[in-house]
Chain A
Amino acid sequence: MQAFTKLTGIAAPLPKANVDTDQIIPARFLKSISRTGFGKNLFANFRYREDGSENPDFVLNQEPYRKAEILIAFENFGCGSSREHAPWALLDFGIRCVIAPDFADIFHNNSFKNGVLPVRLPREVCEQLMEDARMGGNARLTVDLEREVVVRPNGEEIPFKIDPLRRHLLLNGLDDIGQTLQHASAIDAYEAKRKASQPWLAGG
């Protein structure tokens, strides 16, 4: 996983609540067996018309947002399915940070595992950042995970909080399977105990 430390980039405004994972990446594009290549179908139902041409009204089809690295949205971002293809599609497009008032749990989890940082900030703050984002290329945002602040184009710093373990993994780009395997003997011990207390689970 690519580490996330500090990012300065263009933020795209997506002033919607309940952006679900079927919007982020519709199910018909989940057939690839790789983790990459989903970016071209990110928000496909909004980005493309029925004939496959680009919809010029959608924010990611407009300059400078084609190069957006940050997305600003409203409540309950990422609700719906557990598909990790959602953060994979964001990442493949180039978006490494989503800022919203809150996130659906599974999407929130999945993002951290892929070096995409979900930042929770109050609705009023997201509305301010949405205005900043609307200023386009002249208004870059900085998201600093080390210091846990978002820096607005006017220099104002907005603090946010990330769970310490997740922050550590993300700052260092660590794979948590390796971390868990350090506890292998505890898992062995748990399994032995369980076999004795719940023998009906031993076979499977």
Chain B
Amino acid sequence: MSGQKPRTLFDKIWDAHVVETLPDGTALLYIDLHLTHEVTTPQAFDGLRQAGRKVRRPEATLAVIDHNIATDASRYTGIEDPESRVQVETLERNVQEFGVPFIPLLDQRQGIVHVIGPELGRSLPGMTIVCGDSHTSTHGAMGALAFGIGTSEVEHVLATQTLLQKPARNMQVLVEGNLALGCTAKDIVLAIIGKIGTAGGTGHVIEFAGDAIRALDMAGRMTVCNMSIEGGARAGMVAPDQTTYDYVRTRPMAPKGEALERAIEYWKTLPTDAGAHFDKVVKLAAHEIAPQVTWGTSPEDVLPITGIVPNPEEAADEARREQMRRKMQYMGLQPGQRLQDLKVDVVFVGSCTNSRIEDIRAAAAVARGRKVAEGVRAMVVPGSGLVKAQAEEEGLDRILQEAGFEWREAGCSMCLGMNPDKLTPGQRCASTSNRNFEGRQGPGGRTHLLSPAMAAAAAIAGHLADVRDFQPQQAQ
């Protein structure tokens, strides 16, 4: 090496995108890809219009509708909710006026913005990627620097293709060893958040490393990076490797032929150098991770499925005791209850965390030849029209429907309670989404976060259940 200081994956992507450094250390950072959706853009386009500005690089921008829409057949007859309709129509008008590439609602490629970016080959290693959505961290799985921004920053990127940013600190989360049977990427990331807490990554970009991360497929890496924000991190990333390149090769909008080979040559220079400095390092042993489930109203309130509901009186101080009592009351829990005894009303498999084909296969493997428990509403919402088509080609829709799951159209669905898919007050939901905040899935709704296989197991059992008790069955 040329004697240059060893750098992390984050340092390298950052350095390659600094247009200028301002006197106080703030960088003008170039943005390669700007993903947009209907909720966080109307005010940004409006700002451009008022200032008489254009979108600087429409071709580096991609728009899709995902948050507001119904995931049943009603989407084909128009959006019922007048406010949702106005928001969707506003995006449709804005992309036309500003010349931004757009995937319409009824296009088969439509889906959750964080599913379609990688799936279509728009999100690539080495890129800076932003979107007005905190789960933009998902795209870090490609070996990109990807982070969520607010609407003012959306406007800033539209107008300038840059952002004003202070460099983040480097954090490494090392997960070594092999995952036990029944454990998945979701269990890894929930265990990480349980360990570092919801503010454990504040001010940092996390690089997930170690052989348990290397062993994950791209969907698994996306699940892990997706929830970086739940650990407070600005972004999460995984170094690109052969798994990444093989994935990119099959993507329709990715570079092809010689351009791709040249790109791969560059991407191979990105992984963290030996001896590079991390401000913070956290280690987990993969074999110690059991299937995880959250009990409270923050993603850090997580336990192995074999656990029991904790006792607030054992918390360190009165403020914490009070906070825990509030969580228990909201969640309708008693100290000492076995998590596996908690009956569920709804099961949701979907969201930008877990709605890829691999996630649907995992749910279907548990559902196969079994029946959803009586009184449980179980739904599977694919992350995109392409995921849906692939699942149907594999017959997964049939397996799931025979078991009693609803098979729905692509969208954000019950992750966030802003479209028709919502919990009603007091309903308990086993959910593969990313946030168990109060009211997140609908006012008064009670969310338990878990993996797709664990969600399917809960649907069959009618209560939270240990997926390790569910051996695969043949269809009857």
Contacts and interface: CB of A to CB of B under 8 A. Distances in A.
Contacts of B46: 33
Given A81-B133, A113-B152, A187-B161, A33 B87 contact: yes
B153 interface: yes
A182 B424 CA distance: 51
30 contacts: A17-B319, A18-B198, A18-B199, A20-B298, A20-B435, A22-B439, A27-B416, A30-B39, A31-B84, A32-B83, A33-B86, A45-B438, A76-B202, A76-B232, A81-B416, A83-B40, A87-B150, A104-B202, A106-B148, A106-B149, A110-B150, A164-B24, A177-B53, A183-B20, A186-B19, A190-B30, A191-B161, A199-B262, A200-B255, A200-B260
A114 B42 CA distance: 16
A201 B32 contact: yes
B68 interface: yes
A74 B317 CA distance: 14
A15 B133 CA distance: 27
A199 B152 contact: no
B300 to A, nearest CB: 8
A142 B151 CA distance: 29
B254 to A, nearest CB: 9
A: interface residue count bin: 35 or more
Interface string A169-204: 000000011011101101100110010001111011
B160 interface: yes
B155 interface: yes
Given A28-B422, A203-B59, 7 more contacts: A26-B443, A104-B199, A177-B156, A180-B160, A186-B28, A198-B126, A199-B262
Contact of B437 (A20, A180, A203): A20
B49 interface: no
A60 to B, nearest CB: 16
B475 interface: no
B40 A82 contact: yes
B266 A198 contact: yes
Contact of B43 (A16, A35, A76, A194): A35
A82 B138 CA distance: 14
Interface in A146-164: 163-164
A165 B42 contact: no
B159 interface: yes
Given A200-B263, A201-B32, A33 B90 contact: yes
A144 interface: no
A191 B32 CA distance: 10
A105 B19 contact: no
4 smallest beta-carbon distances between A and B, as pairs: A113-B152, A110-B150, A33-B42, A31-B83
Given A33-B90, A84-B150, A79 B439 contact: no
Contacts of A187: 19, 28, 30, 56, 160-162
Contacts of B250: none
Contact of A105 (B42, B203, B298): B203
B437 A80 contact: yes
A81 B68 CA distance: 16
B75 interface: no
Nearest to B260: A200
Interface string A57-98: 000000000000000001110011111100100000000000
A81 B259 contact: no
Contact of B153 (A16, A28, A109): A109
Contacts of B83: 31-32
Contacts of A23: 437-439
B60 interface: yes
A191 B59 CA distance: 13
B121 to A, nearest CB: 10
A130 B25 CA distance: 34
B473 interface: no
B133 A82 contact: yes
A26 B262 contact: no
A154 to B, nearest CB: 24
B159 A177 contact: yes
A113 B155 CA distance: 11
A53 interface: no
A10 B444 CA distance: 31
Identify which of A32, A74, A81, A164 gathers the most chain B CB atoms within 10 Å of its CB: A81
A104 to B, nearest CB: 6
B255 to A, nearest CB: 4
Contact of A114 (B30, B152, B440): B152
Contacts of A27: 67, 416-418, 440
B283 interface: no
A31 B226 CA distance: 24
Nearest to B156: A177
Interface string B286-306: 000000000000100000000
A159 to B, nearest CB: 19
Nearest to B22: A165
Contact of A50 (B20, B162, B425): B425
A102 interface: yes
Given A33-B90, A45-B438, A176-B164, A82 B28 contact: no
Contacts of B151: 84, 110
Contacts of B126: 198
Contacts of A183: 19-20, 28, 162
B117 interface: no
A200 B422 CA distance: 42
A26 B439 contact: yes
A194 B263 contact: no
Contact of B166 (A32, A163, A176, A201): A163
B262 A76 contact: no
Nearest to A1: B152
Contacts of A50: 425, 443-444
Contacts of B443: 26, 45, 50
B59 A204 contact: yes
Interface string A19-50: 01011001110111111000000000100001
A79 to B, nearest CB: 6
Contacts of B266: 198
B316 interface: no
Nearest to A194: B30
